[in-house]
């Protein structure tokens, strides 16, 4: 029994010590040794931002751009929970708003690209999908994103606008998961973004539908408050919004303002 | 001296060397403290409403049902496999033992993809099943159970096979020389010998099945009431409502703790 008490005491002590340690680190904010710019960007920006990363590094000697791609919600959580980040590029305004609400953004986020939905089908289009209404035909296996994620809420908007109600076989976590199901041939069709169809051009076919205009998705970008490399961060945003950035974004299927 | 020490430590067996206490406590802290972290982020006032939402209840119900089903499958299929691996004398048995462990090392998402390429509409087994029976497995609750069994079965097999090999074949040989048939030997000697290991293996499998995420979402998809188990629901909810996700993951922890607390002591004592 005494030993148990002692053990617990050690546990409590350890906890207290670790807590102190992390506090010290969090408050200190030691200056980084090398000039590295940390960018958090939505997964759909992978192709375009990777090119821009190279170009930025070439133009700014000694700067190492580190881009972490992921789901916008997860990225927003990272910033809110205190990761040291310079630039945040979100796939929707909702997740940017979460960060803005915590007063963690420097200035106003700017919309730098828009994206819209497209139907992805396997290359041989086994179900013969030609329109949005075709997705609701009986016997067609459709996969969409969950309404909680941007591509899913866009799909819901299109459903409301057209009055066509889908009965999806699955509501996936992100567009890549939807693409996987279409590529594997499990789904006859999936609702993804134009840019996703482009990035998987050899594995899926895209079917455009006019109703996609009812749910345009805007991508905001912003410099994070107290960014360790605020000046570089502004330069990077300028690059994304400039001619070169626009060119790369258009190349993969985005529309730029 | 010795007896005094034994008395202090509760009187059962030898006392634990002091040197082991420190790493043991660190190990315990590593497990417990993250859960404490989870608790500190849960707003207890909203907990009841968060975990009784329609989607949360549907996910809980599905999770418990599928985890029970896959644990039964683990027992029915994995149990005999463990016996074969421990007792059968066939060439290549060592390789087989290693192969059985694959789901443990494979990232679950890859496991899910593998299942998809086998049992999916274009998979070589899935295609046959589709043409003959007009049945498709992906996007169904059956797919969830298969995915969970795939990742959970090695836990049972490893626990059971280890126990079988430790127990050795002495008693079985004696029983056989006394005239017992193989099935009687298995039922009356082998099974009682490894009952504790079987129990803990089952608990491990159930826990693993309950927490399964990657293989399920890849192979079965995610749809409320059909394939969206509690871990998938936690992940989906996390996209919009982190508090809700934290509360739900706590439910997952509670279910796991209850199952382990109820089953573990009995299993270890061999009462099952």
Helix (H) or strand (E) holding B110: helix B108-119
pLDDT tens-digit map of A96-123: 999 999 999 988 999 999 999 999 999 9
Of B25, B117, B139, which is closest to A170 when you measure between CB atoms?
B139
**Which portions of chain B are predicted below pLDDT 70?**
1-13, 264-272
Q: How far are the Cα atoms of A147, A235, B117 from residue A93, in angstroms, in the given order?
A: 15, 22, 37
How would you classify the pairing of strands A142-145 and A170-172? parallel
Contacts of B139 in chain A (CB under 8 A): 141, 169-170, 186
Contacts of A6 in chain B (CB under 8 A): 21
The rounded distance, in Å, linking the Cα atoms of A119 and A163 is 17
pLDDT tens-digit map of A120-155: 999 999 999 999 999 999 989 999 999 888 888 889
How would you classify the pairing of strands A36-42 and A87-89? parallel
Tell me, what's the pLDDT at B264? Answer: 65
How many contacts, defined by CB atoms under 8 Å, are there between A and B?
81
Q: Which domains, ranges and CATH numbers included, belong to chain A?
A: 34-114+218-251 (3.40.190.10), 117-214 (3.40.190.10)
A21: confidence class by pLDDT, cuts 50, 70, 90: very low
The rounded distance, in Å, linking the Cα atoms of A151 and A190 is 11
Dihedral Cα A147, A149, A155, A156, nearest 10 deg: 30
- For residues A19 and A219, the model is more confident at A219
**Residue B100 near residue B151, CB atoms below 8 Å:** no
* CB pair distance less than 8 Å for B122 and A168: no
* CB pair distance less than 8 Å for B227 and A170: yes
Which residues lie closer than 8 Å to A114 by C-beta, 6 or more apart? Answer: A216, A217, A218, A219, A254, A255, A256, A257
What is the least distance, in Å, from the CA of A37 to any CA of chain B?
A: 26
Share of residues in chain A with pLDDT > 70 (%): 87
The rounded distance, in Å, linking the Cα atoms of A110 and A241 is 9
**Which residues of B fall below an 8 Å CB-CB distance to A?**
8-9, 18, 21-22, 24-26, 28-29, 32-33, 113, 116-117, 120-122, 138-139, 217-218, 220-224, 227-228, 235-240, 242
pLDDT tens-digit map of A177-226: 899 899 988 999 999 999 989 888 889 999 999 988 888 889 999 999 98
- For residues B39 and A86, the model is more confident at A86
pLDDT tens-digit map of B26-62: 999 998 999 888 888 887 777 888 788 888 899 999 9
User: Within 10 A of B252 (CB to CB), how many other CB atoms are there?
Assistant: 19
SS3 per residue for chain A:
CHHHHHHHHHHHHHHHHHHHHHHHHHHHCCCCCCCEEEEEEEHHHHHHHHHHHHHHHHHCCCCEEEEEEECHHHHHHHHHCCCCCCEEECCCHHHHHHHHHCCCEEEEEEEEEEECEEEEECCCCCCCCCCCHHHHCCCCCEEEECCCCHHHHHHHHHHHHHCCCCCCCEEECCHHHHHHHHHCCCCCEEEEEHHHHHHCCCCCEEECCHHHHHCCEEEEEEEECCCCCHHHHHHHHHHHHCHHHHHHHHHCCCECC
The rounded distance, in Å, linking the Cα atoms of A131 and A211 is 9
Contacts of B122 in chain A (CB under 8 A): 184-186
Sequence-separated contacts (24+) of B193-196 with Cβ below 8 Å: B193/B163, B193/B164, B193/B167, B194/B160, B194/B163, B194/B164, B194/B167, B195/B267, B195/B270, B195/B271, B195/B272, B196/B163, B196/B267, B196/B268, B196/B269, B196/B270
Q: Where are the domains of chain B?
A: 1-40, 52-269
The rounded distance, in Å, linking the Cα atoms of A93 and A110 is 10
- For residues B258 and A3, the model is more confident at B258
Tell me, what's the pLDDT at A125? Answer: 92
Tell me, what's the pLDDT at B267? Answer: 55
B196-218 in b/e form (b: 16+ CB < 10 A) is bbbbbbbbbbbbbbbbbbbbbbb
Of A7, A14, A15, which Cα lies nearest the Cα of B16? Answer: A7
Going across the sheet that includes A142-145, the strands are A170-172, A142-145, A189-193, A117-121, A205-207
The rounded distance, in Å, linking the Cα atoms of A87 and A52 is 13
**Residue A80 near residue A99, CB atoms below 8 Å:** yes
What is the least distance, in Å, from the CA of A126 to any CA of chain B?
A: 12
The rounded distance, in Å, linking the Cα atoms of A141 and A168 is 7
Q: What is the largest CA-CA distance in chain A?
A: 74
> Which of B19, B36, B221, B223 best probes binding to A when mutated, by most A CB atoms within 10 angstroms?
B221
ipTM of the complex: 0.72
> Which of A145, A171, A188 best probes binding to B when mutated, by most B CB atoms within 10 angstroms?
A171
Residue A167, sorted as left (phi over 0), alpha (psi -120 to 50) or beta, turns out to be: beta
Helix (H) or strand (E) holding B141: helix B141-167
User: Within 10 A of A255 (CB to CB), how many other CB atoms are there?
Assistant: 14
The rounded distance, in Å, linking the Cα atoms of A93 and A98 is 9
Share of residues in chain A with pLDDT > 90 (%): 57
CATH fold for domain B52-269: MetI-like fold (1.10.3720)
Tell me, what's the pLDDT at A99? Answer: 93
**Residue B223 near residue B178, CB atoms below 8 Å:** no
> Which of A170, A181, A189, A191 best probes binding to B when mutated, by most B CB atoms within 10 angstroms?
A170
Dihedral Cα A160, A162, A163, A165, nearest 10 deg: -80
Of A3, A74, A170, which is closest to B222 when you measure between CB atoms?
A170
User: Within 10 A of B48 (CB to CB), how many other CB atoms are there?
Assistant: 9
Of B25, B84, B184, which Cα lies nearest the Cα of A4? Answer: B25
Of A11, A77, A173, which is closest to B25 when you measure between CB atoms?
A11
pLDDT tens-digit map of A26-40: 334 444 446 899 999
Q: What is the largest CA-CA distance in chain B?
A: 75
């Amino acid at each position: 029994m005494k030993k148990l008490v002692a053990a617990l005491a050690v546990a409590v002590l350890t906890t207290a010590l670790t807590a102190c340690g992390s506090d010290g680190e969090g408050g200190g904010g030691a200056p980084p040794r090398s000039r590295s710019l940390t960018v958090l960007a939505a997964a759909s920006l992978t192709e375009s931002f990777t090119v821009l990363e190279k170009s930025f590094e070439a133009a700014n000697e000694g700067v190492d751009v580190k881009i972490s791609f992921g789901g916008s919600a997860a990225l927003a959580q990272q910033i809110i929970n205190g990761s040291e980040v310079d630039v945040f590029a979100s796939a929707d305004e909702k997740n940017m708003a979460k960060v803005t609400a915590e007063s963690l953004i420097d200035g106003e986020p700017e919309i730098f690209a828009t994206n819209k939905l497209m139907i992805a089908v396997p290359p041989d289009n086994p179900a013969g999908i030609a329109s949005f209404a075709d997705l609701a035909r009986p016997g067609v296996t459709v996969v969409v994103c969950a309404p909680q994620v941007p591509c899913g809420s866009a799909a819901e908007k299109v459903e409301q606008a057209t009055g066509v109600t889908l009965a999806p076989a699955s509501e996936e976590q992100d567009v890549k998961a939807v693409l996987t199901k279409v590529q594997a041939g499990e789904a006859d069709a999936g609702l993804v973004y134009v840019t996703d169809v482009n990035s998987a051009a050899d594995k899926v076919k895209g079917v455009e539908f006019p109703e996609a205009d009812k749910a345009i998705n805007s991508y905001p970008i912003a410099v994070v408050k107290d960014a360790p490399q605020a000046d570089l961060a502004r330069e990077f945003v300028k690059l994304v919004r400039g001619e070169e950035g626009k060119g790369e974004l258009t190349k993969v299927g985005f529309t730029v303002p | 001296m010795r007896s005094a020490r034994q008395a202090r430590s509760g009187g059962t067996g030898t006392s634990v060397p002091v040197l082991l206490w420190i790493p043991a406590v660190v190990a315990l802290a590593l497990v417990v403290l993250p859960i404490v972290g989870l608790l500190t982020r849960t707003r207890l006032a909203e907990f009841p409403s968060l975990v009784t939402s329609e989607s949360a209840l549907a996910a809980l119900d599905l999770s418990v049902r599928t985890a029970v089903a896959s644990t039964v499958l683990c027992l029915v299929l994995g149990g005999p496999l463990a016996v074969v691996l421990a007792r059968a004398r066939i060439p290549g048995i060592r390789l087989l033992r290693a192969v059985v462990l694959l789901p443990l090392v494979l990232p679950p998402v890859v496991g899910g993809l593998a299942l998809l390429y086998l049992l999916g509409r274009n998979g070589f087994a899935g295609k046959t099943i589709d043409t003959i029976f007009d049945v498709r497995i992906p996007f169904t609750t059956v797919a969830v159970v298969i995915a969970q069994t795939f990742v959970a079965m090695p836990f049972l097999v490893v626990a059971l096979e280890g126990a079988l090999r430790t127990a050795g074949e002495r008693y079985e040989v004696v029983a056989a020389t006394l005239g017992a048939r193989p099935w009687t030997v298995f039922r009356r000697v082998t099974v009682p010998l490894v009952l504790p290991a079987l129990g803990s293996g089952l608990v491990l499998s159930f826990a693993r099945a309950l927490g399964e995420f990657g293989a399920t979402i890849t192979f079965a998809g995610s749809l409320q009431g059909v394939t969206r188990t509690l871990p998938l629901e936690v992940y989906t909810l996390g996209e919009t409502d982190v508090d809700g996700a934290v509360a739900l993951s706590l439910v997952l922890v509670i279910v796991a703790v209850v199952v382990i607390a109820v089953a573990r002591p009995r299993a270890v004592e061999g009462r099952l």
